[in-house]
Amino acid sequence: MTEQQQQVNMTGWAGKIADTIMSQCDSDGYHDYPMERWAYVPGMLLMAMARAGIQLNEKRYYHFMQLHMDHYIEADGTIRSYTLEEYNLDQINQGKNLFFQYENTVEKRYSKAADTLAAQLISQPRTSEGGFWHKKVYPFQMWLDGLYMASPFLAEYAKVFDRPELLSEVAHQLLLVERRTRDKRTGLLYHGWDESGEQEWADSLTGLSSHFWSRAMGWYAMALVDCLEHFPVDHPKRGTIIGIFQRMCHALVDVQDQGSGLWYQVLDQGKRKGNYLEATGSIMFVYAMAKGLRLRYLEPGFRNAMLQGYEGIIRHLVTEDSQGVHLHQICHGAGLSKDRNGSFDYYISEAVVSDHYMGIGPLLLASLEVERYLE
């Protein structure tokens, strides 16, 4: 065991992670991966870098976000490679960076791009109760993933552009998916819900998928704390959202692995053969708890679980070498469709990788939150 593994330093990781990302760029600050297309993983990485630039007072991190976002936003506010009529919630996530840009420049192209994304959500296809379909090609389906992709964007849009009625829409989405996917016995949330009951992965009676996937709940946990930051204290649904967040965190603590502080890929079946301690879900839970503690959405009793989780991430999932910080045990991707049936065997069969921005982006966000909480 290395000295690093024996003595886990809880601070300083955010800067090292951001520096690692920057080291993979050319001399002008360009990085190939975020340039591939307008998408949720690059968008999350760019948001993490922007926050790092602000919190750590390092302009080059913020410039990284600005440089790559400007690859997509045309002078008239058009978003390259984006199509509203796809009605895909994943395509909203990168738009969270538009608020940084608009605040710092007041350029109309950024507000127009944000208007376009908001227009998608206002006209998004819906379930009979008004829940956003995850995508047009996934009719009558709500996935936990989609709440993170779209809801914090819409909440911030409502605040920045004085559209308070949209906060009620945000609250409706957050509360509806929780009511529809929450298991009363464990308090955990199923990955997806199909109102039509037509999908092969959906239970014929409930429409629910079969298991509690760690990253799906991670997306939802982050969605709650990121949305709440934009709700005024007198909003009639704010207290309810805080209440379901705390209730959910209790359920997550109940399935936290006490030996490592981490969480399993399939949350409630830690000892089942093939299951493993997964990076992204663990990191997202730490992020949400750290931010919830800092903003007092959570009681102080969650501090130990959060710190144990972060220590477990650094101790068991992170390594360092001359190339920088590396993250391991990342589920490359999972979803629900005809060939992705939501079974236990399916979730543990997806590729497990290292250093994917699906994990590095959340790791930077979580490190920033932990360091901010501990300062």
- Is the CB of residue 272 less than 8 Å from the CB of residue 344? yes
Q: What is the CA radius of gyration of the chain?
A: 20
CA distance 258 to 248: 18
- Is the CB of residue 249 less than 8 Å from the CB of residue 267? no
Tokens standing for residue 182: 């929450």
Query: What are the start-end ranges of the H helices in the chain?
Result: 3-6, 13-23, 40-55, 59-69, 97-105, 108-122, 144-160, 165-181, 214-228, 238-254, 279-294, 303-312, 344-349, 357-374
Q: Who contacts 99 (Cβ-Cβ below 8 Å, separation ≥6)? A: 114, 156, 157, 160
**Active site (annotated) includes residue 145:** yes
- Is the CB of residue 188 less than 8 Å from the CB of residue 251? yes
- Is the CB of residue 34 less than 8 Å from the CB of residue 22? no
Among 57, 56, 70, which Cα is nearest to 28's? 70
| CA neighbours closer than 13 Å in the CB half-sphere of residue 133 | 19
CA distance 357 to 354: 9
Other CB atoms within 10 Å distance of the CB of residue 271 = 7
Annotated catalytic residue: which of 145, 234, 268, 321? Answer: 145
Hey, which residues are catalytic here? 145
